[in-house]
Structure 1
Amino acid sequence: MAAKTYYWVSLWFLLTIPVIFWDAGYCFMRPRSMVGGDLHWIWKPYALYQDIDYIYGWKAYEEGDGFTNAQSPTALLNLVENGMNIAYLYLAHVKGTPAATLLGFASVVMTLSKTVLYWLQEYYCGGCSVGHNDLQTLIVYWVIPNGLWLLVPSFIVWRLGKDLASALFVAEKTAKKEASGKKK
């Protein structure tokens, strides 16, 4: 049985792969990727963002805050997530294996979990990295872009989760049918 694919799910994975690599590159290359660094030209939009979200800026870097490189939404786990995204696309569209659904589900659950953790950190630390922004800046440059990473993965979790649950029900029904056939 071939993998069931959805255009919008594959498009999300395809479009986010370069974004995730770019973001991880910025984080791992700090301080060279930051304003004043010799590689900053590659990550020029971060000139604004590092002042909006201190996790990406000098404050976190100078304090040795490891959250940026180790955890959500950046760097090390992003590379793992991206590997899973690439594997999903390969397994779903090249190999056509139903295992792609499980891998895609696991990857998007990771994306969603990391993003929720990112938001919860801000909540529990009282906005320590973004609370200095005015409301408009916060909404336009932090809530909307990061909200997209909550919204789309939530829909993908729902869609792929439904497919996995359906496959499990079919497998259960088949196993029961085979078991009852063997009893006769």
Structure 2
Amino acid sequence: MSSKIPDWVALWLVATSLICAYDATFVLLRPRTLEGGDLSFIFPGHVYYTTIDIKYGDMEDQFVIAQSILNLFEIILNVITLVMHCRSDWRAPVVAFLVQAFTFWKTVLYMIQYTPLCNGSHLVEHLDWLKYTALFLGTNGWWIVIPLLSLWTLWKTLLSAMAPSAGETDKTK
């Protein structure tokens, strides 16, 4: 089995680790990171984002906290994957596949909250079309699209590594 993951997947793991660390820090240190808090100057984008995704500013919303704790586990798995990748560990593509599936489904679960399925469409009704599309779907959509593309790429890598060679196929006949 190939011990390397594609470079673009490794780069994504680095980028998402940094972004998730920043995001989790913002959420877990609330209310100090919210507008008017002594740490809000570190998070100007997030302070604005609380006007887009109101769950981020809602101190009573426990799901955002749970999602941020999951971000910390995601970061740990990303780092483990990257270390394995750098060491050419044959398990790196398997762990990368696992962490990308985790990221994908965590984000899908988060986004489903904003749909009529979970009675959450009121959470985005305050947004005009442009803000909803660009700032809500656009920012969150990357955590669905890129992991899905990573899963597709890694799945092909894993399948090709598990496929029997021509000599092995002949022996089974």
TM-score (norm 1): 0.85
For 1:145 and 1:35, how far apart are their aligned partners in 2? 20
Structure 1, unmatched stretches of 5+, are none
SS of aligned partner of 1:51: coil
1:111-150 mapped onto 2 (5 Å cutoff):
111-123=103-115, 124=117, 125-150=119-144
1:79 to 2:79 alignment = no
Distance 1:176 1:41, change over 3 A: farther
Give aligned pairs, total. Answer: 169
Question: 1:167: Cα distance to partner?
Answer: 2.4
Corresponding position of 2:159: 165
Distance 1:66 1:176, change over 3 A: farther
- Amino acid paired to 1:7: D
For 2:81 and 2:6, how far apart are their aligned partners in 1? 12
- Amino acid paired to 2:50: Q
Structure with the greater alpha carbon radius of gyration: 1
1:43-58 mapped onto 2 (5 Å cutoff):
43-57=43-57
2:24–2:72 Cα contact (<8 Å) kept? yes
Question: 1:152: Cα distance to partner?
Answer: 0.7
TM-score (norm 2): 0.90
- Amino acid paired to 1:78: N
For 1:121 and 1:129, how far apart are their aligned partners in 2? 9
1:168-183 mapped onto 2 (5 Å cutoff):
168-170=162-164, 177=171
Question: 1:121: Cα distance to partner?
Answer: 1.1
For 2:77 and 2:110, how far apart are their aligned partners in 1? 20
For 1:154 and 1:77, how far apart are their aligned partners in 2? 18
Bigger RCO (CA 8 Å, 6+ sep): 2
Distance 1:132 1:176, change over 3 A: farther
For 1:68 and 1:176, how far apart are their aligned partners in 2? 54
Q: Give the percent of matched residue pairs that are identical in Structure 1 and Structure 2.
A: 33
Q: Which 4+ runs in 1 deviate beyond 3 A?
A: 173-177
* CA RMSD across the alignment: 1.9
1:91 to 2:84 alignment = yes
**Per-residue CA distance 1:96-120 (angstroms, 9 max, x = gap):** 0110111111101011001111111
1:11-22 mapped onto 2 (5 Å cutoff):
11-22=11-22
For 1:151 and 1:66, how far apart are their aligned partners in 2? 26
Structure 2, unmatched stretches of 5+, are none
